[in-house]
Amino acid sequence: MSPDVHTAHRAGRRAQARVVVPGGRPLNPQAAVTLRRYRPTDRPAVTAMSDALSERSLYQRFFTGHPRLPVGFLDRLDHSPEGRDLVLLAVRDSLVLGVGELIVGPEDPDRAELGLLVRDSHHRQGIGLRLVRGLLAHGQACGVGTVRVEVLTENRAVRALVATYYPTATGVVDGWTVRYELALFCPPIFTVARPRPALA
């Protein structure tokens, strides 16, 4: 499928997407999903996401059973250092639809870990991919060379996402998980000589 056809296909599919969240609160279909950095004042809105996450999604994110978002995760968002680390929220109408994290290894600033979580009611609307793109762009801008994504081998969604959009990523199966390594392309920096104003 050509990129244009692909984009149109996705746009068409999203136009039919449901716009009512669990709890019955209608969303404004005109409001765009925006990505922005997490702020500590977002904690209640992120905590409220728990009601919109299935046990399966929580298990796929944290690899153990959790009935709700773990407090340790929420604390980590509050305390993740600004700068190279990035917690990115996908937000619409002040509702948090997704959370993406890029955590740079303190012992190896060339490498980072990526984590993702999107409300079940909003899966397959392109939110996860947008979070990934935002996090990778940030990592690249910060000089991160390799981003690691570790998922359960049963995680069809992430495996398909990587296979479709990052086909050069290497994946290593280790028991019940698969670790992907995404090499961030760093374009060479060319210095362009600017014409200098003539001296008077």
Ligand X SMILES: CC(C)(COP(=O)(O)OP(=O)(O)OC[C@H]1O[C@@H](n2cnc3c(N)ncnc32)[C@H](O)[C@@H]1OP(=O)(O)O)[C@@H](O)C(=O)NCCC(=O)NCCS
Interacting residues with ligand X (CB under 6 A): 10, 57, 60-61, 115-118, 123-129, 151, 155-158, 160-161, 164
Smallest separation, CB 3 to ligand X (Å): 11
Nearer to ligand X, 49 or 84 (CB): 49
Smallest separation, CB 199 to ligand X (Å): 55
Nearer to ligand X, 156 or 186 (CB): 156
Smallest separation, CB 130 to ligand X (Å): 7
Q: How far apart are CA 119 and CA 93, in angstroms?
A: 14
Question: Taking CB positions, which residue lies at the least distance from ligand X?
Answer: 128
The contacts of residue 95 (CB under 8 Å, 6+ apart) are 21, 25, 27, 45
Nearer to ligand X, 117 or 135 (CB): 117
- Long-range contacts from 183-187, C-beta under 8 angstroms, 24+ separation: 183/145, 183/146, 184/136, 184/139, 184/140, 184/144, 184/145, 184/146, 184/147, 185/140, 186/140, 186/143, 186/145
Nearer to ligand X, 36 or 186 (CB): 36
Q: How far apart are CA 131 and CA 174, in angstroms?
A: 25
Smallest separation, CB 117 to ligand X (Å): 5
Smallest separation, CB 191 to ligand X (Å): 37
Q: How far apart are CA 52 and CA 63, in angstroms?
A: 18
Nearer to ligand X, 84 or 147 (CB): 147
Q: How far apart are CA 174 and CA 181, in angstroms?
A: 13
Smallest separation, CB 125 to ligand X (Å): 5
Nearer to ligand X, 84 or 178 (CB): 178
